[in-house]
Amino acid sequence: MANLSDFIEEHLKRLLALSSRGYIEIQRRELSRKFTCVPSQINYVLSSRFTLERGYLVESRRGGRGFIRIYRIDPMQFRSWDGILQKIAGVEFEPAKAVQFLKRGCEERIVSRREAQIVEALLRDDHYAGLIAGRQELRELQKKLFKAALEAILKGNH
């Protein structure tokens, strides 16, 4: 049941996998023509699927000879988790970003699907319904548990 965005995502990932440089360069206009859609659809795909949490970095240049460059960031190193956690928990911990992060861990085979599912369970707000006071406290608790879970993954070498 794939939709247009799924196809574009797949296309880009294939290109990326084929590339030896660790990044690809595309032209928005050209790509939108290939998939017969409006150019901004490409932005939608990029912003919904090629996020930092999922391990991608996107840069671009406007004007004549413009381009969009998509980098695949190095596979997650354990030491870098803390940094990413900082980002996820920047102002207020964001469960959605944590889920993205887990997805990436799955893709990189650092986290198993089952492990990811467990952690996702603790990120679901409805499990806390009626048991915790404020939103702030909820996010704080989720962050703590998430962090603890990551540490558990780190410690337990399978």
Partner DNA sequence: GTTACAAGGTCAGGGAAGGTCAAACTTCAG
Partner DNA sequence: CTGAAGTTTGACCTTCCCTGACCTTGTAAC
Q: Tell me which residues touch its own copies (CB under 8 A).
A: 1-3, 25, 27, 61, 64-67, 112-122, 124, 127-128, 131-133, 137, 140-141, 144-145, 148-149, 151-153, 155-158
Query: What is the β-pairing status of strands 23-26 and 56-61?
Result: unpaired
Q: Which does 17 bind (CB under 5 to 8 A by kind): its own copies, DNA, none?
A: none
| Residue 2 C-beta: closest distance to its own copies, Å | 7
Q: Which does 23 bind (CB under 5 to 8 A by kind): DNA, its own copies, none?
A: none
Output 80 or 136, the one with its CB closest to its own copies: 136
What contacts 20, CB < 8 A, 6 or more positions away? none
Distance CA 116, CA 110 (A): 10
> Which one, 21 or 113, has the nearer CB to its own copies?
113
Among DNA, its own copies, none, what does residue 60 contact (CB within 5–8 Å per kind)?
DNA
Q: Whose Cβ is closer to DNA: residue 96's or residue 145's?
A: 96
Q: Determine the 3-state secondary structure of 100 from DSSP.
A: helix
Q: 22 vs 66, which CB is nearer to DNA? A: 66
Of residues 63 and 79, the one with the C-beta less far from its own copies: 63
23-26 vs 67-72, strand pairing mode: antiparallel
> Nearest Cα to 5, choosing from 40, 34, 41, 32?
41
Min separation Cβ 83 and DNA, Å = 20
Residue pair 59/135 in contact by the 8 Å Cβ criterion: no
CB of 111 to DNA, least distance (A): 20
Name the CA radius of gyration of the chain, rounded.
18
Residue 113 has phi, psi (to 5 degrees) of: -60, -40
